[in-house]
Each structure stands twice: as structure tokens, then as C-alpha cells.
Amino acid sequence: MSVIERIPRFVVTALIALAIINLLIGVFLRYVVGGFTNYMDWDPVSFTWVEEVGEMALAWLTFIGAAIGIRSRSHFTLYVFTPRFSPSVQRAIEVFNHLLIAGFGLLAAWHAITLCQLNWSLKTPGLEVSLALLYASAVVGGVLIAIYAFSMIVSPAHRDPNALH
């Protein structure tokens, strides 16, 4: 596996870990710290940022993971008619499909750039970071989708003949 392939792999693993640990911090803040401050009659500790971190991590995880999924063929696909065609026709269909997927990714990325610009000055209430950080996930994701789709055109990943779908 090349270094370039390892980066998104590492990033999604880190993001899922971040998402789950963040949830646990949320539970801790709400039940333990919240209960304690409530008991002591202190000012409650804010945890609105927990929700923002979680949702942001999920959005990034989704787009990067969806792009990786193109190559690892983890998106559900029906193979009903195509396996009956000759290998060269099958290959042509696959190239056609991945060109469309790449186009979809680039289109999403292109229009997401506009969304980033529109939301540049808006800040999230908890973390007070720019909302563009959220929409940037669609830009990066769209570009990655195109890259992975092109990689399938150049050197297709092998499909497990025993795979169910």
C-alpha cells in the first residue's frame, strides 16, 4: 500500500476515534461534571462544543470514507446483468461509471467552494470556528471521490469473485 493511500486511511481511523472519545467526554461532562456543578450550585460547564466536534468529525469521516469506499468497493452495488457481458464490455462500463462518479465528486466540490465562501465569516456558537470548516469537508471529499474514481479507471481494484454484491 502506497503512502498516499495510507493518509486517508489513517485520517478516517483517527476521526472515528475522535468521534467516539468526544461522545464519551460529552457523557462525562453531562452526567458527572454537570451533576457535580449542579450539586455544588456552581455555574454549569458548557458542552455545546461537544456536539459541534462530533458533527464536524462525522461530516469529514463520511466524505473521506465514502471516497475510500470507491476503491475498496464498500458501496452496495447490484451485479445482475453486467457479469454476463464480455470482459471488455464490462471494463468499458466500469470506466464509464467511474467517469460519472468523478464528475459527481468534482461538481459537489466545485459548488461546495461557493458554500465555503458564503459561510466564511459565520462562526459556530460553541467552538467559534468558521462554518467554512464544515463545508470544506464536501470540497475535500468531492475531490477525493474524483481522485479515487480516476484511480479505478487507471488501475481498477480487483473485485472479490466471492463477494455477494
Partner 1 sequence: MLLLSVAVIFVCLILLSMPIVFSLGLAGVAGLWLGGYPMQQLPSALVSGSQSWVLLAIPAFVFAGGLMERCGMSHALVELARALVGWVKGGLGMSVIVVAYFFSDICGSKMAEVSALGSSLMPPLTKAGYKREESASMIAAGTAMGMLVPPAIFMIVIAQVTNTSAVTLFLAGFVPAFVMMICLMVLIYLRARKYDWPVDAKPSLKRVGKAGMEAAVPLVVPVVILGGFFFGIITATEAGAVVAAYAFLAAKIYYRNVSWPQMGQIAYESAILTAAVVFLLAVASIFQYLMGMQGVPKLLGEVLAPLKGHPWLFLFVTAFISMLFGMILEGLPAAVVLIPVVFPIAEEMGIDPIHFNIVQTAAVGIGLFLPPMGVGLLMALKFANVSVSQHFPTYVPYICALVVGLSLIICIPEISLTLPRLAGLIK
The binding site for partner 1 (CB under 8 A) comprises: 9, 12-13, 15-17, 19-20, 23-24, 26-27, 30, 51, 54-56, 58-59, 61-66, 68-70, 72, 74-82, 93-94, 96-97, 100-101, 104, 107-109, 111-112, 114-115, 134-135, 137-139, 141-142, 162, 164-165
CA distance 139 to 116: 9
Minimum CB distance to partner 1, residue 16 (Å)? 4
Query: CB neighbours (10 Å) of residue 75?
Result: 10
CA atoms within 13 A on the CB side of 73: 14
Kindly tell me which of 20 and 44 has the beta carbon lying closer to partner 1: 20
Kindly tell me which of 65 and 147 has the beta carbon lying closer to partner 1: 65
Question: What's the gap between Cα 29 and its chain centre?
Answer: 27
Minimum CB distance to partner 1, residue 61 (Å)? 6
19 is written with which cell numbers? 468521534
Minimum CB distance to partner 1, residue 80 (Å)? 7
Kindly tell me which of 44 and 74 has the beta carbon lying closer to partner 1: 74
CA distance 109 to 105: 6
Q: DSSP class of residue 48?
A: H
Minimum CB distance to partner 1, residue 24 (Å)? 5
Backbone angles phi, psi at 151, to 5 degrees: -65, -30
Kindly tell me which of 30 and 37 has the beta carbon lying closer to partner 1: 30
CA distance 17 to 100: 32
Minimum CB distance to partner 1, residue 39 (Å)? 17
| Cell 475535500 belongs to residue | 140
